[in-house]
Structure 1
C-alpha cells in the first residue's frame, strides 16, 4: 500500500518535470530563437549585406536567411530585411530587435510658397540649411559656397562639368554622409556641388526623394516614410 501511495505522489512530479523540459526545448528551438533576434547592419553592397545577428556576423546575399532574418535586397543606402514575416528597411549601423513593434511613420507637410516652390529646412551632414524640393533634379545639388558652409570637402569628389543655359561650369560629384528632413534621415546621399553661386537654395533632388513617399494635395507637399 505504501509503495502504491509513493508511486501516486511521484507521478505528478514526473509529469511536471517532463513538461518543464519540453518547455525549455521549445524555447531553445530555432523558431523561438528567431523571435528574439537582434540585427545590426554593419556593411552594405549591391544585394549583399554584412549583418550582426544575435552576436554572430553573417554575410547574406539577397534571398539568404539566418535565424529567421532574410535579406530581400540591399543597396548603398539600406538593407531590406524580412524578420519573422515583417519587412524592415534598415540603414547602415542601425539596429532592430525582433520583439516586433509596428514602425513609426514620420511625415513632413510643406506648404507651397507664392513662387510655387516647396521650401523647408534640412540637416545635411548634421548642419542646418534651407532646401527646395526639386523632383526634376537627379541628385541633391548645391553651390560650392553652400558645400563649404556644410563642411563638405567637395574638391575631394569626382570632377565633372555641368551645362547651364549660358555656360559650362565646373562641378564635383560627392556623397553626403546624411540628409535629414522632418526627422526622415537618409544616409550616403549622392550630390553635385557646382562652382559659383548657383543654385541659390540647395536643391533636394531624387537621390534623397527616392527614399520617401511624396504626395501633393491642395498646395501642400507631404514627405513620409515608415521608420
Structure 2
C-alpha cells in the first residue's frame, strides 16, 4: 500500500470512530424517586425515566427504591442516592442565592402524590390545586398531634358529600422535599374525608410550580 493510500485508510478509520463515539454525560443526579421510576438530571436536562427505559445522555434506570436508583451510565452500573436539587439564581443586588426545588411525578389516576411532613411528622400528600388550603380529616390531625378543637376556628366547608363541620388552623411548617413553608393555613374536616392529606393552594401559592412532561416542578420563592 502506498503512503498516500495508507494515510487515507487511517483517516477513514479515525472518522468512522469519531462518528460512532457518543458524548458521555458529565453530570448525573437522581432528584426524584417513585415506584419503578426516577427523575434524573443529566447535564441540566431533567426527565422522569421508568425502570428499563433510557433518559437524557443515554442514561438508563435499572432499578429504583425509596432511597436511590441504580443507573447504567456509559455501560457501567452505579447506585445514585437521592440528591436535593438546588438552582442557583442571581439576586437583584448582583449576588447569588439558591432556591430549593422538588420534582413530583404523576402517579395513579393521573394524580401527583408526594411524601412530605407537617410540623416534622411524615405525611403522604395528594396535590390538589382545587383545594384552597391544605386539608385533612380529624384522624389525620390527631395522628399529627394537632389540637385543632382548641387552636382552630370552627367553620363549615363544602365537600363532594355536601357541607361538613371543620376547623381552620395554621400549621407551623409544611415541607415537601427541600422546600419548607412556614405558617401555612389548613383545614381539619370533621369525619373521615378526605382520605389523603391534600396539598392545597395555601401551600402552592407560597412556591413556584409548573407541570412539565408529567412531572410537577416546585421551587421555593426565596
- State the TM-score, normalized to the length of structure 2: 0.56
Q: Please report how far the alpha carbon of residue 168 of structure 1 lies from its aligned counterpart in structure 2 after TM superposition.
A: 2.4
The residue aligned with 2:123 is 129
The residue aligned with 2:217 is 222
Q: Which residue of 189, 199, 205 maps to 2:200? A: 205
Alignment of 1:26-175 (within 5 A): 86=93, 102-156=96-150, 157-175=152-170
Does residue 184 in structure 1 map to residue 179 in structure 2? yes
Q: Please report how far the alpha carbon of residue 158 of structure 1 lies from its aligned counterpart in structure 2 after TM superposition.
A: 0.4
Paired positions, count: 131
Structure 2 regions of 5+ residues with no counterpart?
A: 1-90
CA gap of 1:217–1:155, structure 2 versus 1, over 3 A, is same
Structure 1 regions of 5+ residues with no counterpart?
A: 1-83, 87-99
Q: Which residue of 186, 189, 194 maps to 1:194? A: 189
Detail structure 1 runs of 4+ shifted over 4 Å in the superposition.
none
CA contact (8 A) 1:104 1:226 kept: no
Q: Please report how far the alpha carbon of residue 226 of structure 1 lies from its aligned counterpart in structure 2 after TM superposition.
A: 4.9
Q: What is the rounded CA distance, in whole Å, between the counterparts of 2:108 and 2:211 in structure 1?
A: 16
- State the TM-score, normalized to the length of structure 1: 0.54
Q: What's the C-alpha RMSD, in Å, of the aligned pairs?
A: 1.8
Which structure has the larger Rg over C-alpha atoms? 1
Q: Please report how far the alpha carbon of residue 114 of structure 1 lies from its aligned counterpart in structure 2 after TM superposition.
A: 2.7
